[in-house]
Structure 1
Amino acid sequence: MESSTRVEKDEPLTPAGRLFLSPQMDQVINCAIGFKNPVNVEAIKTEVKNSLLIQHPRFSSLLIKNSKGREKWRNTHVEVDKHFIVVDSQSHQNENHEDEVNNYLADLSVSSPLSTDKPLWEIHVLMAQQCLVLRIHHALGDGVSLMSLFLACCKRADGQEQEQGDSTSRSSGERRRGNWRVRFWGFLVMVWLSLVYCLEFVMRSLWVRDKKSGVNGGAGVELWPRKLATARFKIDDLKAVKIAFPNATINDVLFGVISSGLSRYLDLKSSKDFKSGEMEKLMKTKSGSRWGNRFGIFLLPVYYHKGTTDPLEYVRRAKKIMDRKKQSLEAHFSYAIGNLVMTLFGPEVACWLNYRIICNTTFTFSNVVGPKKELLLAENPITFLRVTSSALPHAITMHMVSYAGIADLQISVAKDIIPEPKILAKCFEDALMQMKDAALANT
């Protein structure tokens, strides 16, 4: 009788959840959490046991398949100790902690699935590096949902209450102002851009590919060995560039930084200096919602601007493209078409479609806004939050998370295509500093 009662409570997976569990798209989010002091494992376990993490149904459910082969969530008792993996290896003298953590994450990103005999999450404790790696299957939720849950498990270092929400949606009301002619013209522009970009999305899904460059991936690249590097940006530097452009956003600046950084990297890769000691010298220089998987896709063209003398031109071009994209319904269309394909044809076809999009494009970039103030977990100050995921057919995958005034961009690469990701990270950092200098000079 007890067994039948539990079966009645089984919940089906969402369409996105089934997609992320398919063999080709098996996605695990790996979140590195750095600490100021040595990690007290028992204190962390106690925090987890008393946190909302355990109370959330997705984090306390097993993935099962019914008699028809359909995946279901089944509630279970969580044994927290089974979710902890303590890595007590010594730190190498010739490497810093950042490199060691990134090497560990790079190894996890290839062929390291989560065990299905327990809920799909686990915590790796890197004792020597004073770091936790929270591994969560993407089927449990998207980046925004998981960030909200994580914040609920922490408290602010200054003792204040956690911040609720942000101001990212403030401009939506402003765009609706104006007379009926302005609104009607805006509607026509939205329809036209939506048609153009949605058609481009469909074409990109089926057969249109990015032009060949030195950073392209392709089918099977998700199985190649990976390397990981971190590009670090100050939020104030991003804002200094943003202010130079009316109505610009941080994402506009980031898109410009990526475009400029990739251009710099491709220039270096094609030069003789890339294979000489000059690169070693370069590396030594200093640069000044609701729960679930709800996300859309923007296809953003990143142009290779060789010989551009104005660093702000990258942001200017990025903002123009982003403004047009945000006027369209491309992101909504990509979300809707993914759900429709999953509902009508099942995860195999939806997985094939998403895999084709990735194979036909050059890289993936995501950005999640994190907490603005320093946090404590088990009374230990958190020094950084960094996120990466399982490998994709791209040669480059980038995930950014902001925390306490710093934005860390994790750059995961196929090392046989991009053997020196630190150089690419340095190109991004230098691009922002050059943009900041140009923006300040223009004020």
Structure 2
Amino acid sequence: MSNSEVERDDEPVTPAGRLFLQPDSYQIIHIIMGCKNPIDTDAVKSAITNSVMIQLPRFSSLLVRNSHGREHWRKTQVDVDRHVVVVEDPVSDTAAGNEEAVNDYVADLAVSSPLSSDKPLWEVHLLRAHNCMVFRIHHALGDGISLMSMLLEWGRRADEPHQSPSTGSLGTSSLNKNQRRELWKLVVWMFMNVVFIVEFVLRALWVKDQRTAVSGGAGVELWPRKLATAKFRLDDMKQVKKAVAGATINDVLSGVVSFGLSRYLDMRSPKALQDGVQITGLAMVNLRKRPGLQELSDMIRGDPGIRWGNKFGTLLFPVYYRQGGADPLQHVKTAKKIMDQKKQSLEAHLSYYIGISCFAPKVANWFSYRIVCNTTFTISNVVGLKEEITIAGNPVTYMRVNNTSLPHAITMHMLTYGDRADMQILVAKDIIPDPQVLAKCFEDALLQMKEAATKQLGK
């Protein structure tokens, strides 16, 4: 939507938001929620109308551009009926179950359905035949942490309807301040920051991963997609965490990705890779000072310590191919060592300020797009809700999240909900035709790690 004049109350779009509006970086977040009972369309519309979401300025604003092409948010009246898409019939003509049918529906949305700019940039699709709701929210409106905080305020605990849900914890590790005062620690810290900055710049210019059976590249974001779900139990991940000193759930997930990709590559291209080949991913990191989800009620009251929107950095996250027979826990140990170094650096912060905030959107888009093209996968992990919730009075049985497509042939987004963690695996189907097999590789990787951890802890 274009408008040559900027009105007084228009809010400029943030640099991160402008990046996600560029054609090569256009991103929509999908939050998938399975419901226990049939969906009442009127109840959902009423819940949206009265929800905290409508109170958030960006959810009730149009995207407009001035005569110079600069983007702004302009307040408007929200017509909820235009934002709710009701699908009465099954979304698949095949005998696929609910989960597969919903995944197919979202995979099609990932490459073919941008959001209309003549209304605020969000939609809710009600797949009534599958008891499922799909929230489509443009990334310019906020990141995964922001959107989970919205659900935290909106939903109600299924077991205690008068209470808001709480959030889980994935565990963090911080730098010891006394150690940082030591000169040699400071020198190492500075050196590692220089190394990580150089790595990012080289990735944008010419350094790229060796081609494998899961490699993407420029233009792959336009290829048809498939979507599969890997399902984990948080208790299993915690058992593995206990077996590796100082590890976090994020370290365990990193090890699962490393081990699972090795298993899958063994199946797809046995003996095609040398042991130890690096496969590089991009890991998303929350940069907010408050590590958990934020209470939007405080933000709406004007708390300056809470920032809605996009506030995340990116880490280059290498995993290493290991041929069958390697110690499963070694994948976690290697991932932990790498991530501990990166947590003590400014890599994530610098990637945000250099790659998003400091340059014009077209420059930031070029930088980001080149890095994605020269790496192999994307991974994110969002802390979800500890208790199961209800939306419009309907219990939510599962919650999953993913993004629209990137030049990567494989993107992975894990979200915790209750005692489970589901990872959505979006793939370019001409490169990875069997994402269900890949999902099984990740699930089996965790089970093998759990078995090894149980044996180690039992000694």
Same fold (TM over 0.5): yes
1:108 corresponding residue in structure 2: 109
Native 8 Å contact 2:171 2:249 kept in 1: no
The answer to whether residue 335 in structure 2 is matched with residue 318 in structure 1 is yes
Distance 1:305 1:69, change over 3 A: same
1:199 corresponding residue in structure 2: 198
Native 8 Å contact 1:190 1:329 kept in 2: no
Equivalents in 1 of 2:110, 2:101: separation in Å?
14
Please list every run of 5 or more consecutive structure 1 residues that lacks an aligned counterpart in the other structure.
273-288
Distance 1:170 1:298, change over 3 A: closer
Native 8 Å contact 1:85 1:123 kept in 2: yes
Distance 1:116 1:326, change over 3 A: same
Equivalents in 1 of 2:380, 2:180: separation in Å?
36
CA displacement 1:193-246 (0-9 Å, x = unmatched)? 111111111111111111111100000000000000000000110000001112
1:412 corresponding residue in structure 2: 426
Equivalents in 2 of 1:230, 1:77: separation in Å?
37
2:117 aligned counterpart, secondary structure = coil
1:297 corresponding residue in structure 2: 314
Equivalents in 2 of 1:384, 1:169: separation in Å?
22
**Amino acid in structure 2 at the alignment position of 1:95:** A
Distance 1:426 1:167, change over 3 A: closer
1:30 aligned counterpart, secondary structure = strand
Note the C-alpha offset of 1:8: 0.7
Distance 1:308 1:367, change over 3 A: same
Note the C-alpha offset of 1:250: 0.6
CA displacement 1:339-393 (0-9 Å, x = unmatched)? 3442xxx211111111001000000001100001110111111011111111100
CA displacement 1:306-346 (0-9 Å, x = unmatched)? 1343111111111111111111111011011023442xxx2
Equivalents in 1 of 2:167, 2:256: separation in Å?
26
2:18 corresponding residue in structure 1: 18
Native 8 Å contact 1:374 1:382 kept in 2: yes
2:73 aligned counterpart, secondary structure = strand
Equivalents in 2 of 1:82, 1:236: separation in Å?
42
Equivalents in 1 of 2:18, 2:68: separation in Å?
15
The answer to whether residue 382 in structure 2 is matched with residue 372 in structure 1 is no
User: Which shows bigger deviation, 82-91 or 226-235?
Assistant: 82-91
User: Which shows bigger deviation, 432-441 or 81-90?
Assistant: 81-90
Equivalents in 1 of 2:146, 2:196: separation in Å?
27
Note the C-alpha offset of 1:168: 6.0
Note the C-alpha offset of 1:31: 1.0
Note the C-alpha offset of 1:175: 1.8
Distance 1:44 1:331, change over 3 A: same
1:302 aligned counterpart, secondary structure = strand
Note the C-alpha offset of 1:69: 1.6
Note the C-alpha offset of 1:157: 1.2
**Amino acid in structure 2 at the alignment position of 1:247:** G
Equivalents in 2 of 1:291, 1:149: separation in Å?
10
Native 8 Å contact 1:252 1:318 kept in 2: yes
Equivalents in 1 of 2:186, 2:325: separation in Å?
35
Equivalents in 2 of 1:29, 1:380: separation in Å?
22
CA displacement 1:254-280 (0-9 Å, x = unmatched)? 0100000000000011259xxxxxxxx
**Amino acid in structure 1 at the alignment position of 2:133:** L
Equivalents in 2 of 1:104, 1:44: separation in Å?
20
User: Which shows bigger deviation, 206-215 or 101-110?
Assistant: 206-215
- Normalized per residue, the structure richer in helix is 1
The answer to whether residue 408 in structure 2 is matched with residue 394 in structure 1 is yes
Equivalents in 2 of 1:221, 1:4: separation in Å?
35
1:442 corresponding residue in structure 2: 456
**Amino acid in structure 1 at the alignment position of 2:245:** P
2:422 aligned counterpart, secondary structure = strand
Note the C-alpha offset of 1:180: 4.9
The answer to whether residue 186 in structure 2 is matched with residue 161 in structure 1 is no
Distance 1:5 1:421, change over 3 A: closer
2:36 corresponding residue in structure 1: 36
User: Which shows bigger deviation, 158-167 or 387-396?
Assistant: 158-167
The answer to whether residue 212 in structure 2 is matched with residue 213 in structure 1 is yes
Native 8 Å contact 2:172 2:248 kept in 1: no
Native 8 Å contact 2:165 2:389 kept in 1: no
Equivalents in 2 of 1:314, 1:271: separation in Å?
19
1:285 corresponding residue in structure 2: none
When the two structures are aligned, how many residues end up with a matched partner? 419
Native 8 Å contact 2:19 2:356 kept in 1: no
Given candidates 411, 424, 436, the residue that maps to 1:422 is 436
Native 8 Å contact 1:28 1:137 kept in 2: yes
1:296 aligned counterpart, secondary structure = strand
2:32 aligned counterpart, secondary structure = strand
1:277 corresponding residue in structure 2: none
Equivalents in 1 of 2:30, 2:253: separation in Å?
22
2:101 aligned counterpart, secondary structure = helix
Equivalents in 1 of 2:224, 2:4: separation in Å?
45
TM-score, normalised to structure 2, is: 0.88
- Aligned ranges for residues 41-440 of structure 1 at < 5 Å? 41-90=41-90, 92=93, 94-159=95-160, 161-162=163-164, 171-172=173-174, 175-177=176-178, 180-181=181-182, 184-271=183-270, 289=294, 290-342=307-359, 346-440=360-454
Distance 1:413 1:168, change over 3 A: closer
CA displacement 1:51-75 (0-9 Å, x = unmatched)? 0111110000000111222111000
1:297 aligned counterpart, secondary structure = strand
**Amino acid in structure 2 at the alignment position of 1:94:** A
Equivalents in 2 of 1:97, 1:291: separation in Å?
33
**Amino acid in structure 1 at the alignment position of 2:16:** A
**Amino acid in structure 1 at the alignment position of 2:95:** N
Native 8 Å contact 1:341 1:349 kept in 2: no
Equivalents in 2 of 1:224, 1:187: separation in Å?
46
